Amino acid sequence: MSDTSPACFCLPNHPPSFATVSPILKPVFFALAGILCLASDATAQISASPAAMDAAVKTLQTYCYDCHTGKEAEGGVRVDFLSKPDSLEDNIEVVEKILRVLAEQQMPPADAEQIAGADRVALSTWIEARLQDFDCGSVSRPGRVTMRRLNRTEYDNTIRDLTGLDLRLANDFPSDDVGNGFDNIGDVLTLPPILMEKYLASAQAVAEAVMANPQASSRVFPFAPGNPDDLSEALDVAQKNVGAFASRAFRRPVAPSELARLTELMRSAWEAGASKAESLQAAVTVILTSPHFIYRVEDDQASESIDGIRELNDYELASRLSYFLWSSMPDERLLQLAGAGELHTSQQLVAEARRMLADPKSQSLIDNFIGQWLQLRDLETLSPDPKQFPEFDQELRVSMRRETELLFRNILDENRSIIDLLNADYSFINQRLADHYGVEGIVGDEFQRVNLKGKRSGVLMHASVLLITSNPTRTSPVKRGKWVLENLLGEPPPPPPPNVPELNATGETLGTLRQQMEQHRADPNCAVCHTKMDALGFGLENFDVVGKWREVDGRDKIDPSGSLPGNRQFGSPVDLVQILAEDKKQEFCRCMTRKMLTYALGRGLGVQDRCTVNAIVSQMSEKNYQAATLVEAIVTSSPFTTQETGR
């Protein structure tokens, strides 16, 4: 996330894409969301004593300084900054990597003198203590979030829930940009001129559809018309109708000044000869092109803040809840609770989150969060080689994605552990997918829960993920290993070093794929990342490009065995997944927490969010990693319930 001032589309320093925006959208509406980084009992600070620091620095000097200091530090990783005070903020990722390789005993390398067990523990404890002091110290720098435009999915869902008409007009909008892995990030949701034209055309289309549909019209305009011959009475009823619609569209009570302008618009239209229906249609169009509809506007009143941080009001919290869990506007219950001031305590937020997760509209959380986090949306654009995989078709593609979505749906509905995503020995398949997996006894298009114990475990063995992480003609252990590191463990490998040739780029025959990768790793620059990444990928080699089980690749028998850091040996894909589920619970939970918090806030996370993430992970571990705990912890967290005023 950027810590610079948010782009302002009505001031001289606005981005070029806003230069020709219609005057109706030129008022300044910037909302800044922040965090009070508060330490919980579970993340109590650890004191890093001078003696501990001296011992830790001595260990670093003895075992690490020869290779990891100065401009020529191996792998670009320097450790000497740890001996300096106030040096962590610009090196958080490096610190996390240092802790990881110490815990997994990847460093020092096997051919170097090893750190004694007690010294390794002491060094890790001291570094953790410094991180803890940094994360949850008394001085915190709240984050900021750019005001968010509704993305295409949110726009369509909001129109649907506002009018009762499922028009899907946003399909004609330009694609939303993606930031931090999601398409609901405020910093990248710009407003190009072409989109302004689409908004106006869509608003007019919605207004026309509402007036042409009696059911939609009665929903949008709940007050019955008065005496048609009495202009004053008719205008009064029209004002009530427009006021009710604007309040729902803006997700908060319409201001008297706003209602006065809308009323004057209708009066002027009537006096100019427009019919009452045409006047109402014009008012709807204006409301749907207002920045208060197109954007999720949050207030920025410094007078309500304490030290520059204010609590969001109930209407703002209602919108945060609804767009997080439903990708749509608040329903009547949320708006009623907000109006009564009954939506700002932790108990109230948790109660509503539970209700909303049980609502069918929470399918949007699965479609949009899981679909982007696990990259399931990419399935639509992937086409395995039809000659090698003639069985692959659109029906199978859809079934693949549905299986993964249903697993997460089940975890939410039954409040199961999120670790089931890693090692669930059950899944949901229909006949098409059962035939693909070689599972007998499943008939029909309906998805059924089946026990796959000993055969497949978790999403890593879902055909959806296996296809996403393959090339069109062959599997890719590197892609699969990299996908696990990035999306499940939160350990993205660095970009490959320059001038390293592609695998088999020379066209020479290098043996089996495993042998080719071993030769690739012979380059020391490659070995650092590939040792762990390749082990993860080769552990899944029994599954081909489209996720079918196989024993051989061509003429070569597949060897899925391998070793992970800590000398954890595995001999099959199921063994590999079980090791991840046992040894990497915290890493997986932290990764998923960061992903979901990013999605919920609509902004990338910064170093100032680490304390919140740590607190949520601690809560999760105390409650067996239950899915509901993650959602509830997010909606009651400081980043979700407070914002920086920016004043």
Residue 349's alpha-carbon distances to 154, 338, 344, 477, 632, in angstroms, are 21, 11, 7, 43, 8
**Which tens digits make up the pLDDT trace of 255-281?**
999 999 999 999 999 889 999 899 999
pLDDT recorded at residue 35:
20
Burial class (CB within 10 angstroms; exposed 0-12, middle 13-18, buried 19+) of 544: buried
CA-closest candidate to residue 641, choices 596, 600, 584: 600
Whether the Cβ atoms of residue 543 and residue 466 lie closer than 8 Å to each other: yes
For the segment 53-88, what is each residue's pLDDT rounded down to a tens digit? Answer: 777 777 777 777 777 877 777 767 877 777 776 666
Do residues 489 and 584 make contact, with C-beta atoms less than 8 angstroms apart?
yes
CA diameter of the chain: 96
Q: What is the pLDDT of residue 521?
A: 56
pLDDT tier, 12 (very low <50, low <70, confident <90, very high otherwise): very low
Distance CA 632, CA 563 (A): 37
Q: Sorting pLDDT into bands at 50, 70 and 90, what band is 135?
A: low
What is the pTM (predicted TM-score) of this model?
0.83
Residue 68's alpha-carbon distances to 73, 74, 118, 576, in angstroms, are 4, 6, 22, 32
Q: At 258, which amino acid appears?
A: E
Peptide bond into 108 cis (omega under 30): yes
Strand pairing partners for 564?
568
Of the listed ranges 32-46, 271-285, 465-479, the least confidently predicted one is: 32-46
Q: What is the DSSP string of 560-589?
A: --EEETTTEEESSHHHHHHHHHHH-HHHHH
DSSP state letter for 38: -
111 contacts: CB under 8 Å, gap ≥ 6 = none
Tens of pLDDT along 144-178?
677 899 999 999 999 999 999 999 999 999 999 99
**Continuous segment of H or E residues that includes residue 337:** helix 332-339
pLDDT digits (tens, 9 = 90+) for 610-645: 889 999 999 999 999 999 999 999 999 999 999 887
Planar angle of CA 480, 465, 530, nearest 5 degrees:
5
Pairwise CA distance, residues 624 & 416, whole Å:
9
CA distance 462 to 469: 11
